[in-house]
Copies of this chain bind each other. A is one copy, B any other.
Amino acid sequence: MSKKNAILATATRLFSRNGFQGTAVAELSTLTGAATGTIFHHFKNKEALFLQVLKDVKESLLDQFDRHRQQRLPGGSGLAQVLDVVSFYLHLGGTMEDQFLILHRHFPYQMAETSPVCRDHLASIYTSLLDIFEAGIQKGLEDGSVRLDDPRKTAMVLFAMVDGIVRLNTYRVYDAGALYDSLMTACKRLLAGGP
């Protein structure tokens, strides 16, 4: 299993940095020390390799949010919970840069149009993430710390905002750190404003 994991780890890095078409199996071979025959022994083709990488991205990403949720102290308001999720998403954007880069590239979404497996992975990722945002909003609606009409749609708008900042940060257009305070106040206004 050693070589296989090395292939997956290096493939994650190469796919995220150079894209699907920009990643050569030969380069994967030299970087991991595995022969090309070995790579195609473990994965039937390049697309299957990427689908496994995407599956790992999904699992590690959702695992991070699970861990974070479990170690959260109970008793905070719904608004505080949403702000905490937003903050954690920004944090992950830095620590899991490769995984986010893959999700920000276009090729997974093109592959999703022909590969149901790819489509399912992406759908699973986004529904799970939106559920996490929505859960905080819902809690806030119940404890009064959040006031708005449609929790799901607000979660979608909120997610687009945070994910957009993470993307523009890794693309070197924004400096996410310098935007942290503005983002937090924007979230508070967006969630706790008048009905």
Interface residues of A (CB under 8 A from B): 19, 21-22, 101, 104-107, 109, 112-113, 122, 126, 148-150, 153-154, 156-161, 163-165, 167-168, 171-174, 178-179, 181-183, 185-186, 189-190, 193-194
Contact = CB atoms under 8 A, between A and B. Distances in A.
B173 A126 contact: yes
A156 B183 CA distance: 9
Q: Which 3 A-B pairs have the closest CB atoms?
A: A164-B164, A160-B164, A189-B193
Contacts of A171: 106, 109
Contact of A174 (B104, B156, B185): B156
6 contacts: A153-B182, A157-B179, A159-B164, A160-B161, A160-B174, A190-B190
Total identical chains: 2
A116 B194 CA distance: 46
A156 to B, nearest CB: 6
Nearest to A126: B173
Given A105-B105, A156-B179, A157-B183, 10 more contacts: A21-B21, A104-B106, A112-B172, A149-B182, A157-B182, A157-B186, A160-B161, A160-B167, A160-B168, A186-B190
